[in-house]
Amino acid sequence: MLYRTAGQFKISYKADHALFPVRQDAYLLGFVLLLAFVVFPLTASEFTFRALLIPVLIYSLAALGLNILTGYAGQLSLGTGAFMGVGAYACYKLLTIFPEMNIVIAIAMSGFFSAAVGVLFGLPSLRIKGFYLAIATLAAQFFLVWLFQKWAWLYNYNASGAIQVPNIDMFGITVAGPRATAMTQYYFVLGVVSVITLFAINITRGRIGRMWKAVRDMDIAAELVGINLMRAKLTAFFVSSYIVGVSGALFVFLWRGAAEANLFDIPLSFRVLFIAIIGGLGSILGNYLGAILIVALPVIVSTVPATFGIPIDSAMVEHLNVMIVGALIITFLIVEPHGLARFWAVIREKLILWPFPH
Amino acid sequence: MELLNAIFVKPFADMAAAPDFLLQVLWEGLVGGVLYALIALGFVLIYKSSRIFNFAQGIMVVFAALTLVGLYEMGVPALLALPLTLGVMLLLAISIERVVLRPLVNQPDIILFMATIGITLFLIGLGEIIFGGENKVMITEQLGIPTGSILFEPFGGFVSIEEKDLTAVIGAGILVASLLVFLNKSKIGRAIRALGDDHQAALSVGISLSTIWVIVWFIAGVIALATGIVWGARAGVSFALEVIAYKALPVLMLGGLESVMGAIIGGLAIGILEKLFEIYWGQPLLGGNTEAWFAYVLALMVLLFRPQGLFGERIIERV
């Protein structure tokens, strides 16, 4: 009833392969975009922006990058955090060397640095598979974080060893740095994330995306039908690291404001991996659902007991949080190994048929 | 030229000039390597028998050590705390099998791997709530481990060997030897290896999957406790210990995920080589702390030539 697809006839292949073959999907997306672009900015407080909305967007972007590599091309990576770091440090150096550069261009370019590093560390994937490859990506993780610490040029020889985001203007509006308002930053991040998501949707449903999926499902079979494995795997590493690098640049410039090398250490990689897995590997929507869950969870855990009047100290909250995230991951994997995106797919199927059982 | 000299000549000249120091470095590396080998062994056992890449091995080390120290602090005598901790590890193995593994049988590898990361997080939270997050001192003396040090004087210099390290190396050797005997000679060991070869065939001849899994996770827990005691005696017991799990991963790559022998040899090799590299190349040339990544890069190099590790089963792919 609510989601009736009856009567929406496709009379050409083009219409059948449209971005939204079902009209209700487009309406729903329109509604979500309306929420994101108009309703949230009108109603959200500074705290909501900084603690929920901006991190959700940035983490979903990082998870989207990882999902392209792991969910679409089937190459498990545990080095996401370090590639985010490459993006962040590249953006920082670009803006140091060319202070006049527009921040959008700097962020877009910093993605290429991370993509280059990603391809370099993706080269072993041509020979190594499965968990061996996962551990090999850890080599990137540890080596790069070590480099961020030891290569003082990267952080402009600061005594603190941290990178600090200066005030950056774009068309007369401060978008990054301590003077920027949360709402401008939110719009900035939202814009970047929307553009990249559109790009990701289209690349994954096109020829390249199908090539990746073939490699994921069985790489030898893919090779036999004429897919160039090297090209498939390396493009996956390139696109994935590009998106991850951009998300890293946003992470530092539009959200954290400052960063030390150990921020990009392995917990960050795992957090992004959780988002991708809980959201659903091989889906774009899942990244957003997963990010909402993982970002909102600590906030919920810290506020819910307080509203019920149960006193709970902050250290306890942190520990409980870790525990609950762990338990949730296990629960989700048991209940629905294909993630939240699959939940939505099931609900959607039900809605299309509702109120009939078949 | 200067650089080539610093890379290819000077380190070896340094080694030759101070052989006693070299011996000390080798010893330190060996002790580290024994620990890596132990953790890698825990990984290999579980991977062999269930194809689960058990990320929680590192936190099991911490959890075992914390339980031991925590029980002692609650007033349990040290020698009673030891079997009690083993009991806790058994309980942990049973509950992991019941709650996590049983519902996830036959899921893809990556899902099981993620589940073990979930276990890791859960145990971190649980451990911090029960035992507190602060650093604790391992009850080395109370367990009857000697804590003095022995001085040798070869080549006119001196090498000092801590007795607890020596105990650790000997203890680890005994543990590994008895484990090998257990795996190769006992009935349960045969069942474990059978499961590793072919799940369905093993099930069809009457081997109980869940019992074997509990046993394997319990053995991994015992190894974790041994590692925790040794490493805790060196560096104190805290959640920072968890990072040694990351040190064991390249050992697995180097040795092969399925090979017990590979874990031992790989562990010792990485322990010694990373120490040598750090002292003679890392600190003078690269600003130190190269131990964080050296093992990974080394393992990566090896994998490029042997994708299944030095001792891993050959990867045969069929379409």
- Rounded Cα distance between A132 and A336, Å, is 26
Q: Render pLDDT for B186-211 as a digit per residue (tens, 0 to 9).
A: 888 888 888 877 778 888 888 888 88
Pair A302, A173 in one domain? yes
Least CA distance to A223: which residue of chain B?
B319
The more confident residue out of B43 and B319 is: B43
Q: Sort B319 into a burial class: Cβ within 10 Å, 0-12 / 13-18 / 19+.
A: exposed
Give the pLDDT of residue B157. Answer: 67
Q: What is the pLDDT of residue A126?
A: 81
Choose the mutation target among B113, B114, B302 for the interface with A, i.e. most A CBs under 10 Å: B114
**Is the Cβ–Cβ distance between B53 and B112 less than 8 Å?**
yes
Q: Are residue A3 and residue A127 in the same domain, yes or no?
A: no
Cα separation values, A357 from A345, A347, A353, Å:
16, 13, 7
Q: Are residues A281 and A244 in the same domain?
A: yes
Q: Quick check: is A358 in a domain?
A: no
Q: What residue type is assigned to position A117 of the chain?
A: V
Q: Which residue of A has its CA nearest to B254?
A: A132
**Which pLDDT does position A19 carry in this prediction?**
79
Residues of A in contact with B54 (CB under 8 A): none
Residue of A nearest to B105 (CA): A334
Average pLDDT over residues B155-177: 78
Question: Are B159 and B24 in contact, with CB atoms under 8 Å apart?
Answer: yes
Q: Is residue A87 one of the residues assigned to a domain? A: yes
pLDDT score at B319: 66
Answer whether B297 touches A (CB < 8 Å): yes
Can you tell me the distance from the alpha carbon of B87 to that of B78, in angstroms, rounded to the nearest whole number? 14
Same domain membership, residue A242 and residue A348:
yes
What contacts 24+ positions apart, CB below 8 Å, involve B4-11?
B6/B284, B6/B285, B7/B281, B7/B285, B10/B284, B11/B280, B11/B281, B11/B284
Minimal CA separation from B304 to chain A, in Å: 6
Same-domain status, A310 and A175: yes
Asked if the Cβ–Cβ distance from A333 to B129 is below 8 Å, we say no
Chain A residue nearest residue B108, CA to CA:
A337
Residue B156 is predicted with a pLDDT of 65
Is residue B177 helix, strand or coil? helix
Are the CB atoms for A311 and A302 separated by under 8 Å? no
Q: Do B296 and A136 touch (CB under 8 A)?
A: yes
Contact A128 B129 (CB under 8 A): no
B 40-69 near A (Cβ less than 8 A): 53
* pLDDT tens per residue across all 358 residues of chain A: 677 777 778 888 888 777 777 778 888 888 888 888 888 888 878 777 887 888 999 999 999 999 999 889 888 888 899 999 999 999 988 888 888 888 888 899 999 999 999 998 888 888 887 777 887 788 888 888 888 888 878 777 777 778 887 777 777 777 777 777 788 888 888 999 999 999 999 998 889 999 999 998 888 888 899 999 889 999 999 999 999 999 999 998 888 888 888 888 888 898 898 888 888 888 888 899 989 988 888 778 777 766 776 666 777 777 887 888 888 888 888 888 888 888 888 888 888 887 777 7
In whole angstroms, give the CA distance from residue A292 to residue A290.
5
Whose CA is closest to A74, among A131, A5, A141? A131
Contact between A271 and A251 under an 8 Å Cβ cutoff? The reply is no
CA distance A8 to B258: 54
Q: Please indicate, yes or no, whether residues A240 and A299 belong to a single structural domain of this protein.
A: yes
B288: left (phi over 0), alpha (psi -120 to 50) or beta: left
* Same domain, residue pair A32 and A142: no
> Do the Cβ atoms of B293 and A139 come within 8 Å?
yes
Domain match, A48 and A19 both: no
| Residue B48: CB atoms within 10 Å | 21
Cα A230 versus chain centre, distance: 24
Structural domain tally of chain A?
A: 2
Give the phi and the psi of residue A339 in degrees, each rounded to 5: 90, 180
A229 in reach of chain B (CB within 8 A): no
Report B:162-201 residues touching A (Cβ under 8 A): none
Are A318 and A200 within one domain?
A: yes
User: Does residue A313 belong to any structural domain of this protein?
Assistant: yes
Q: Are residues A100 and A242 in the same domain?
A: yes
Give A286-344 as a DSSP string.
HHHHHHHHHHHHHHHHHHHHHHTT----HHHHHHHHHHHHHHHHHHHHHH-TT-HHHHH
Q: What is the pLDDT of residue A134?
A: 83
Q: Which residues pair with A194 in a beta bridge?
A: none
B104 and A270 in contact by Cβ < 8 A?
no
What are the domain boundaries of chain B?
2-305
- CB–CB contact A139 B300 (8 Å): yes
Name the packing angle between helices B209-235 and B57-73 (round to 10°): 70
Interval B113-165: pLDDT, tens = 888 888 988 888 888 888 876 777 777 666 667 767 777 666 666 777 777 77
Whether residues A197 and A258 share a domain: the answer is yes
Closest chain A C-alpha to B281 CA, distance in angstroms:
15
Nearest to B121 among A142, A150, A325 (CB): A325
Interface contact A320, partner B, CB < 8 A:
yes
Domain extent at residue A77: 44-353
Q: Where does chain B show beta strands of DSSP type E?
A: 149-152, 159-162
Is A312 in the B-facing interface, judged by CB distances under 8 Å? no
Read off the pLDDT of residues B210-248 as tens digits, 9 standing for 90 and up.
888 899 899 989 988 888 888 887 777 777 777 777 777
The reply to whether A340 and A224 lie within a common domain is yes
Whole-model pTM over 0.90: no
Q: What local confidence, expressed as pLDDT, does residue A114 receive?
A: 92
CA B199/CA B203 separation, integer angstroms:
6
Domain's final residue, options A43, A60, A76: A43
> Is residue A122 exposed (0-12), middle (13-18) or buried (19+ Cβ within 10 Å)?
buried
Q: Do B111 and A337 touch (CB under 8 A)?
A: yes
More confident residue, B20 or A253: A253
A295 found inside a domain: yes
Tokens of B211: 């019992």
* Residue A184 located in a structural domain: yes
Whether A185 is in a domain gets the answer yes
Is residue B192 a contact partner of residue B58, using CB atoms and an 8 Å limit? no
For residue A85, what pLDDT is reported?
Answer: 92
A86 Cβ contact partners less than 8 Å away, ≥ 6 residues apart: A110, A113, A114, A117, A144, A241, A245, A248
Question: What does the buried/exposed string (b/e) look like for B243-279 if buried means 16 or more CB atoms within 10 Å of the residue's CB?
Answer: ebbbbbbbbbbbbbbbbbebbbbbbbbbbbbbbbbbb
Contacts with B, A 233-252, CB within 8 Å: none
A139 to B113: CB separation less than 8 angstroms, yes or no: no
